[in-house]
């Protein structure tokens, strides 16, 4: 493209990126990656992809809804759900992309059943450090996903009024523990390096990645966060790292229903890509999404029902997904 065409594409992409950051998470990853492509290799295909995103947003823009969550009567009853993912080496100069989604949900989500969730934050970004393997990149994405949302939520609700004589780190940890957190990943290697592996490098090939894993390994119990492993097609943050429609399909389904489930299947020992080719897996996925759809149809009733309220001791039961998510 000529210099004038690049300038026009940059202006259009900037407008689309603003919309993606504000209200359109389905376009966020593509805007991020196209901006890199426009800088490094300005081909006409980049302009065509920008036009495609503009047509898509004009035709079917996402409307963000905030609603009353069933079973939530106070700010203590919420669970902050963070889903993180990465796309390895999908940028120039061996760089990778990270993606994250943050949801608010009542404690019934820990049972693994379909539940309404509110999307409050999303992000697609270039990982700061070049990663040798996919597990290194997954750890980077998880460290970013285990973020400040719960601390901000507790401060908003008045839990941040602490004694100035106390250590700020200890006071912040006490605040965060008021609101449970779930952190989800579809990386079995990344999950094992945090939960299972006890060797000095935690099974990772890069020292910096091992240090970040140690940091995350120690912060999870201190912050009352449970790490769970999900199949790739149930990890909605996959849409924040790649351009392919297959990666955005699950998030598009969620944005239509506002209902999702953190499902763990102990029988899954292969990647989701191979599982999709299995007829049994396709039938299983259709049945699971049918369950989500039925929950969505009954959401008008569930929205004003108090029957889903979960007590603290039920959140830690052995059959809860937050405690039985080990592969």
Whether 240 shows a pLDDT value over 80: the answer reads yes
Q: What is the mean pLDDT of residues 20-30?
A: 93
Tokens standing for 44?
A: 């006409």
The residue written with tokens 């120690």 in the block is 218
pTM over 0.85: no
Alpha carbon distance 46, 28 (integer Å): 15
* Domain positions in the chain: 3-59, 75-315
Reported as a single tens digit per residue, the pLDDT across 242-287 is 999 999 999 999 998 899 988 655 444 344 555 555 554 454 555 5
Alpha carbon distance 250, 235 (integer Å): 8
Whether 55 shows a pLDDT value over 80: the answer reads yes
Beta bridge partners, 79, equal 105
Residue 290 pLDDT level (bands cut at 50, 70, 90): low
Length of the chain in terms of residues written: 327
Dump strand ranges (E) for 8-127: 78-91, 95-106, 115-116, 118-126
Residue 308 has a pLDDT of 26
Cβ neighbours of residue 228 closer than 8 Å, sequence gap 6 or more:
182, 183, 184, 185, 262, 264, 321, 322, 325
Whether 238 shows a pLDDT value over 80: the answer reads yes
Average pLDDT, the chain: 80
Residue 294 has a pLDDT of 56
């Amino acid at each position: 493209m000529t210099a004038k065409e690049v300038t026009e594409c940059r202006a259009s992409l900037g407008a689309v990126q603003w919309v993606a950051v504000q209200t359109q998470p389905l376009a966020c990853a593509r805007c991020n990656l196209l901006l890199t492509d426009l800088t490094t290799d300005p081909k006409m295909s980049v302009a065509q992809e920008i036009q495609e995103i503009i047509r898509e947003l004009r035709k079917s823009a996402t409307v963000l809804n905030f609603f009353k969550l069933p079973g939530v009567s106070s700010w203590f009853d919420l669970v902050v759900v963070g889903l993180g993912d990465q796309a390895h080496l999908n940028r120039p100069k061996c760089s990778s992309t990270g993606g994250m989604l943050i949801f608010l949900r009542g404690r019934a989500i820990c049972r693994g059943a379909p539940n309404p969730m509110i999307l409050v934050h999303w992000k697609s970004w270039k990982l700061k450090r070049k990663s040798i393997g996919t597990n290194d990149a997954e750890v980077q994405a998880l460290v970013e996903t285990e973020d400040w949302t719960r601390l901000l939520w507790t401060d908003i609700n008045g839990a941040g009024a602490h004694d100035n004589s106390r250590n700020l780190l200890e006071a912040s940890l006490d605040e965060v523990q008021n609101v449970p957190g779930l952190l989800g990943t579809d990386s079995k290697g990344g999950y094992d390096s945090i939960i299972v592996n006890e060797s000095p490098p935690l099974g990772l090939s890069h020292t910096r990645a091992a240090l970040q894993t140690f940091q995350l390994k120690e912060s999870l119990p201190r912050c009352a966060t449970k790490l769970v492993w999900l199949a790739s097609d149930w990890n909605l943050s996959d849409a924040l790292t790649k351009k392919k429609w297959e990666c955005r399909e699950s998030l598009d389904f969620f944005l239509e229903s506002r209902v999702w489930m953190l499902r763990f299947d102990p029988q899954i020992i292969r990647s989701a890509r191979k599982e999709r080719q299995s007829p049994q897996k396709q039938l299983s996925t259709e049945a699971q999404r049918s369950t989500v759809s039925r929950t969505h149809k009954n959401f008008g009733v569930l929205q004003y029902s108090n029957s889903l309220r979960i007590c603290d001791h039920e959140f830690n039961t052995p059959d809860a997904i937050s405690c039985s998510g080990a592969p």
